[in-house]
Amino acid sequence: MQRTWNSPLGQALCIITGASRGFGREAATQISRLVSPGSVLILVARSEDDLRTLQAELTESKAGKAGLVVRYVAADLGLMEGVESVVKASKEASSDNIEHLILINNAASLGDVSRFTREFTDMAEVNSYLSLNVSSSLCLTSSVLQAFPQRPRLQRTVVNISSLCALKPFPSWVLYCTGKAARDMMFKVLAEEEPTLRVLNYAPGPMDTHMQDEARVKTADLNVRKSFTRMAANGLLLSCEESCAKLMKLLRENTYESGAHIDVYDV
Amino acid sequence: MSNITTCIKTLGRGICIITGASKGFGHTLAQQVCSLLESGSVLLLVARTGTLLQKLTEELQSSTSAQQLVVRCIEADLSTEEGVKETVRAAKQEDVKDVDHVLLINNAASLPSISHFSSFINPDEVNSYLFFNVTSALTLTAGILQAFPPRPGLRWTVVNISSAFALQALPSWVLYCTGKAAREMMFRVLAAEEPNVKVLSYSPGPMDTEMQEEICRLTGACYDLLPCQEPGAKLMKLLLDNNFISGSHIDFFDA
């Protein structure tokens, strides 16, 4: 790969889900500065308006002006059509010059943290959660890997935005913990199967986002809620920018063990 | 010689629910648990196949009639809301006087397509697997917890029949590993939340079941298989001793 000091990720095709806000938005912004001109960014989320705004910003940015192509796909990744539309857009925007495929599985939801495990009797609710947070990332990743198969001079990187919750149970967070634990395992299996792929489970830490706000307000477990409130009050929440910079460092250095779970505080 | 008082441990006067009870490991657990439940207990066996279940129920009912155990079968598809609700309804209806133990064994499981990660492009296929192997265990457990609310003085045990591959990634087994890993965490959260419930994720090892036969046929990976009775007996001992830490994962092969 033609990595240069100012384009360490080379000529890349980057697909980022949940790109409309929070960590996903930050990832799109930071990655745009690390790829060489002629690279392609595919922004995916459900909210078309937010995606359009971000696309405009990035197109106007230094990277955009230097030739970064920015496209967006408003899609529901829980549906096969949604996954297909992302793959289609990626294939259309791609070219033979692409030497690095980067897929960042970031889209996620918190689930209802105002209830305890014994209150989850609604199958439709749990199914809907697993569909969005587990199934869709599996199907999107598979489809993208099928569309961009392994070939010489193409590095393929798959990132799973994970969490401490993938490793540690949090009272009143059953859906989120279950989904994150499922995803970590899923991507570990992928890493085992495909030694040519670079697979990273990245836990970004507690960040100052809408998701965090929701967690602070809604969490049923008193201890968990108190610790989030304390973190916010003591300025211990990370900005998306800080955490994302660590992810970018990991991608730039590219020395992580494929399939590993790396936490922001490990970097 | 001094008088030795033998303390025979039992699983108490309980309401015991076992899913996937019609064959394989669930079938064996039903047989083993029977001899450990006290008079007046109720054993509910849940599975999709009515005929096999009926046969097992009759067999157990006749062998335990002296014990005054009630054995009932519930034909239910736990991948459906109706199936889970029916099971909870049936459990609630059992009027177990002075029940001192609620024991739920989440054993029902299915084998997914065993193939490369990148073959899973259809969300319906993935969802179908996760809904049966993850969602139904969660919603059934929640339903039973609500039907028999935990409280001090009532022994409450939830068993998750797990696998070594809940903890270790196995190529070509993404759905199975993902489902088992999801369940493992789900039950750890439950353990962290419920001080009056003991939660155990138990990995029984490779057993001589239809599921294992299918695995051997599909993949050519054919192990030395354990007769179900062996891992079953170890699980019974763990439940009787009741020393495990709630939320832990114990494997048949652990010391």
Predicted confidence (pLDDT) per residue in A18-35, tens digit: 999 999 999 999 999 999
pLDDT computed for residue B6 by the predictor: 52
pLDDT digits (tens, 9 = 90+) for A72-108: 999 999 899 999 999 999 999 999 899 999 999 999 9
Residue B96: inside a domain? yes
pLDDT, mean of residues A151-174: 97
Low-confidence ranges of chain B (pLDDT < 50): 1-3, 5
Distance CA(B226)–CA(B211), nearest Å, equals 13
Residue B169: inside a domain? yes
pLDDT, mean of residues A230-239: 95
Beta strands A198-203; A155-161: pairing state: parallel
Residue B113: inside a domain? yes
Q: Give CB contacts under 8 A, 24+ apart, made by B236-242.
A: B236/B32, B236/B33, B236/B36, B238/B200, B238/B202, B239/B11, B239/B36, B239/B103, B239/B157, B239/B159, B239/B200, B240/B9, B240/B10, B240/B11, B240/B36, B241/B9, B242/B157, B242/B198
Identify the three-state secondary structure at position A252: helix
Q: Does the structure show a pLDDT above 60 at A65?
A: yes
**Residue ranges in B111-226 assigned as alpha helix (H):** 123-130, 136-147, 174-193, 210-219
Q: Closest residue of A to B126, CA-based?
A: A135
Indicate the domain borders of chain A: 12-205+241-266
Interface size, chain A vs chain B, as Cβ–Cβ contacts under 8 Å: 172
Tell me which chain A residues have a C-beta less than 8 angstroms from the C-beta of B104: none
**B81 with A182: Cβ contact below 8 A:** no
Q: What is the CATH number of the domain that holds B95?
A: 3.40.50.720
Any CB–CB contact under 8 A between A132 and chain B? no
pLDDT, mean of residues A229-238: 95
Residue B6: inside a domain? no
Q: Does the structure show a pLDDT above 80 at A157?
A: yes
Q: What is the pTM of this model?
A: 0.96
Distance CA(B121)–CA(B138), nearest Å, equals 25
Distance CA(B181)–CA(B234), nearest Å, equals 22
Among B89, B121, B156, B162, the residue to mutate for chain A (most A Cβ within 10 A): B121
Domain total in chain B: 1
Both tokens assigned to B82 = 């109706």
Phi first, then psi, for residue B100 (nearest 5°) are -120, 0
Nearest C-alpha of chain A: how many angstroms from B185?
5
Give, in words, the CATH class of A12-205+241-266: alpha beta
Longest dimension (CA), chain A: 54
pLDDT computed for residue B134 by the predictor: 98
pLDDT computed for residue A1 by the predictor: 62
Q: Does the structure show a pLDDT above 70 at A2?
A: no
pLDDT, mean over chain A: 96
Any CB–CB contact under 8 A between A189 and chain B? yes
pLDDT, mean of residues A221-241: 95
pLDDT computed for residue A237 by the predictor: 95
Buried b (16+ CB within 10 A) or exposed e, A41-55: bbbbbbeeebbeebb
**B135 with A146: Cβ contact below 8 A:** no
Distance CA(A1)–CA(A4), nearest Å, equals 9
Distance CA(B54)–CA(B64), nearest Å, equals 15
pLDDT computed for residue B66 by the predictor: 64
pLDDT computed for residue B49 by the predictor: 87
pLDDT, mean of residues A113-137: 97
Q: What's the domain range around B43?
A: 14-251
Burial of residue B39 (CB within 10 Å: 0-12, 13-18, 19+) is exposed
pLDDT digits (tens, 9 = 90+) for B182-198: 999 999 999 999 999 99
pLDDT digits (tens, 9 = 90+) for B95-129: 777 899 999 999 999 999 999 999 999 999 999 99
pLDDT computed for residue B87 by the predictor: 97
pLDDT computed for residue B61 by the predictor: 87
